[in-house]
């Protein structure tokens, strides 16, 4: 996570600085219980956005959604995405953003709940694909990802974790396509399916 990048985004959006919000986000992504959902994940998402920025008409709103999409992350709760969206909307309201912009950013963040169908809005679909790009990473990086997720859920007994994790991974494999955009489908779909199959075998 980079302060200069945050301030550049704020300038493009017509907001002033908001260093305090950056500091709050940095603190959130640095919480001790996080192993994968950290500032490194956000930095990776922003890099992937740079590689695919031409896919979004409202790229600054997409970027802001990525900054906030895991801002709230409590592994014992089921509403992290919506609470993260609430935080983003509250910030946008204080900054003076118009209602439609607040609604779009909220929708982009809530889309990272990863429902079984892709978002209808192309910008939300891009946010989701960027968030899921880790699934299509090289096998070594994917195995680190799985290890980090397990560490975040270390409080869950092993048999229950294996069953629940397999349900999640099976859910992605059952989709006709994991990725909604051609950009990520071309780059990530095949390796993601290989990684998911390997992870399911390891859980067994």
pLDDT tens for the chain, 204 residues long, are 899 999 999 999 999 889 999 999 999 999 999 999 999 999 999 999 999 988 888 999 999 999 999 999 999 999 999 999 999 999 999 999 999 999 999 999 999 999 888 899 999 999 999 999 999 999 999 999 999 999 999 999 999 999 999 999 999 999 999 999 999 999 999 999 999 999 999 998
CATH number where 161 lies = 1.10.3210.10
Joined together, the tokens standing for residue 61 give 């709103």
Number of domains in the chain: 1
Kindly report the pTM of this predicted structure: 0.97
- Going from the C-alpha of 92 to that of each of 8, 67, 71, 131, the distances in angstroms are 16, 13, 15, 22
Residues in CB range of 77: below 8 A, 6 or more apart: 83
Q: Which domain holds residue 47?
A: 3-203
| Helix runs in 111-181, H state only | 122-132, 139-152, 158-173
């Amino acid at each position: 996570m980079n302060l200069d990048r945050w301030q550049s985004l704020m300038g493009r959006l017509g907001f002033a600085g908001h260093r305090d919000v950056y500091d709050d986000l940095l603190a959130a992504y640095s919480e001790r219980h996080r192993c994968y959902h950290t500032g490194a994940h956000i930095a990776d998402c922003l890099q992937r956005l740079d590689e695919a920025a031409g896919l979004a008409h409202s790229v600054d709103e997409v970027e802001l959604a990525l900054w906030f999409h895991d801002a709230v992350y409590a592994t014992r709760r089921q509403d992290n995405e919506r609470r993260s969206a609430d935080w983003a909307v509250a910030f946008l309201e204080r900054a003076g953003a118009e209602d439609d912009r607040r609604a779009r950013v909220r929708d982009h963040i809530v889309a990272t709940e990863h429902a079984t169908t892709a978002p209808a809005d192309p910008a939300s679909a891009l946010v989701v694909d960027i968030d899921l790009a880790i699934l299509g990473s090289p096998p070594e990086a994917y195995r680190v990802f799985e290890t980090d997720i397990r560490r975040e859920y270390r409080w869950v007994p092993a048999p229950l974790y294996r069953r629940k994790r397999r349900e999640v991974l099976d859910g992605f494999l059952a989709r006709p396509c994991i990725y909604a955009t051609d950009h990520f489908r071309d780059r990530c779909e095949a390796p993601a399916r290989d990684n998911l199959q390997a992870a399911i075998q390891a859980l067994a």
